[in-house]
A = this chain, B = another copy of it.
Amino acid sequence: MIATILIHCPDQPGIIHSVTGFIHKRGGNVVYLDQHVEKEDRVFFMRLQADFRQDTWEEPSFREAFGKGPATTYAMEWRLYLEDRSRMALFVSKYNHCLYDLLSRYEAGELNATIPFILSNHPDCEPIARQFDIPYYCVPVTPESREKAEARQLELLREHQVDCIVLARYMQIIGPSLIAAYPNRILNIHHSFLPAFAGAKPYHAAFARGVKIIGATSHYVTEELDEGPIIAQDVTPVSHMHTVSDFIAKGRDLEKIVLARAVQLHLHRKTLVYNNKTVIFA
């Protein structure tokens, strides 16, 4: 039984020793430990995986003891995950390259997740959902229906007990109630090298500026559009020979790779958000 623990707390001497001792005493073997100290703010971050082999290990009592023990001593914010799969909803609009990419990884068993449904504001991707035998909900969004749509989205997310949401090129703004319900659990892919070219039509803007490299950025969604904590970025060279269409085509490959990378980091509990930035454990 592998347990993954994510911790952050004010930095002080003895944290690692205390946590590893706690685990040791309960029969655990630390199989992974990565820590980081943000020196400016003196904050300590740790991701630790322990293998508990004893039949006697029980999650509830561990949680309670850890909470009263090291977590209290060091004023930790902490989370404990067992080997459970996340329930991950996909939101799309009309573009299907990120959707296809995630679904083929899903089908190949590469994702530690269950995809209970795909939601879209358009009917276009429904055949793909059918191809992969996943429920598809079309929830159109108009200026008038925005609130109603958001309520319907929340209802679906709750009904399907969704843990996290992946916006696989979903071209609508996510409502505040969703962001509040899924803090640092909504992953977006923005088709630029943020903070360059935030907002709409980044490839057109990149073309107009004459950049020699374009990028894609996956980040957690916050109330500030395209301003959330960055999880992953990547870039590809372009030249004067490329048209906006070429940028878009090259960008598709970037987008799917970067989004998939961020999704994997999230599903493996390798991300920790602090100060609108991410700590990405190795």
Contacts and interface: CB of A to CB of B under 8 A. Distances in A.
A180 interface: no
B30 A276 contact: no
A257 interface: yes
A13 B35 contact: no
Copies in the complex: 4
Interface in A261-282: 275-280, 282
A247 interface: no
Interface string A122-141: 00000000011000000000
Nearest to A37: B31
A21 interface: yes
Interface stretch (A66-74, A84-92, A164-172, A194-202): A194-202
Interface in A194-224: 194-197, 209-213, 215
A193 interface: yes
A243 B253 CA distance: 25
Contacts of A197: 195
A17 B20 contact: yes
A152 interface: no
Interface residues of A, number: 65
Contact of A97 (B39, B108, B193): B108
A235 interface: yes
Contacts of A279: 240
A29 B11 CA distance: 10
Which of A17, A232, A234 has the most chain B CB atoms inside 10 A of its CB?
Answer: A17
Contacts of A31: 37
A257 B253 contact: yes
A230 interface: yes
A96 interface: yes
Interface string A235-262: 1000111010000010011000100100
Given A20-B20, A32-B37, 15 more contacts: A16-B16, A16-B20, A16-B30, A17-B24, A33-B35, A36-B240, A100-B107, A194-B196, A195-B211, A209-B277, A210-B229, A211-B230, A240-B279, A253-B257, A282-B282
